[in-house]
Amino acid sequence: MEALDMKGGAAGAQLGSQLADLHLHNLKLRDPTGASRMSASSEEAGDGTDIVYEKRFGFSVPTCCGFIPQDNEWCDDWQVFFARKLDFQIKKLQTESSGRSVGEAVELWPQLQREVPRLFEGASDVTPSLLHGDLWGGNAATVQEHGASIPVVFDPASFYGHHEYDLAIAAMFGGFSKEFFSSYFEKLPKAAGWESRHQLYQLFHYLNHW
């Protein structure tokens, strides 16, 4: 594997545009008639060189967000899949809190679960997108290629999910410019209720860094 001489400063307009392209890729694989072209096994078709549309949420193997493994078992419903992710985080806090008070989070979780469907009223038809999964500033950089700075991302926690999810942690710790977000939203505009779902997706990462 080739080592990359990576530098800082990746999170600008070019990366925002390329991230949107990644999120749109699976949608573009869907048949124009709306029918799925996904193989029954949800794996690459033919000789392994053809990429096919994935209609479910999850991934074929577990991945890790930081050092925490993620349950990527396939699911047909994004809200169910994401609720499962949050439930895992809540239960993990209960068992590994090391003296920290997590009582309020545990008490509020059932209330939030009842509110989740309302948060998706503006985005009821979620198409799976291949996500980076842990796109904070420390996982983005640039490399020089033919005299130009090319953005690269690394250390993914990938799965197929709602494209809005990737922007949650990107907005939490800095490192991503206004141009990054503007370029992204030019290709994937915000849907109704985006701000509330943005906070919901950030909750996963706040729990992950509790």
pLDDT in tens, 53-90: 999 999 999 999 988 899 999 999 999 999 999 998 88
With tokens 């419903």, the residue in question is: 77
Looking at residue 32, its pLDDT comes to: 59
Q: Which residue has the higher pLDDT, 57 or 40?
A: 57
What pLDDT was estimated at residue 43? 44
| 172 or 40, higher pLDDT | 172
Query: Which has the closest alpha carbon to 175: 9, 1, 3, 7?
Result: 9
Amino acid 90: pLDDT: 86
State the DSSP string of the chain.
------BS---SHHHHHHHHHHHHHHHHHS-TTS-----TTSS-BTTTTB-----SBB-SS-EEETTEEE----BS-HHHHHHHHHHHHHHHHHHH-TT---HHHHHHHHHHHHHHHHHTTT--SPPPEEE-S---GGGEEEEEETTEEEEEE-S---EEE-GGGHHHHHTTSS---HHHHHHHHHHSPPPTTHHHHHHHHHHHHHHHT-
pLDDT at 41: 37
Tens digits of per-residue pLDDT, 137-148? 999 999 888 888
* Per-residue pLDDT at 210: 73
Active-site positions?
Answer: 134
Give the model's confidence band at 38: pLDDT under 50 very low, under 70 low, under 90 confident, else very high.
very low
Looking at mean pLDDT, say which of 38-42, 129-133, 173-177 comes out highest: 129-133
As a whole number of angstroms, the distance between CA 199 and CA 210 comes to 16
Class of domain 13-208: alpha beta
**pLDDT of 14 over the 50 cut:** yes
Output 6 or 176, whichever has higher pLDDT: 176
Domain boundaries, the chain: 13-208
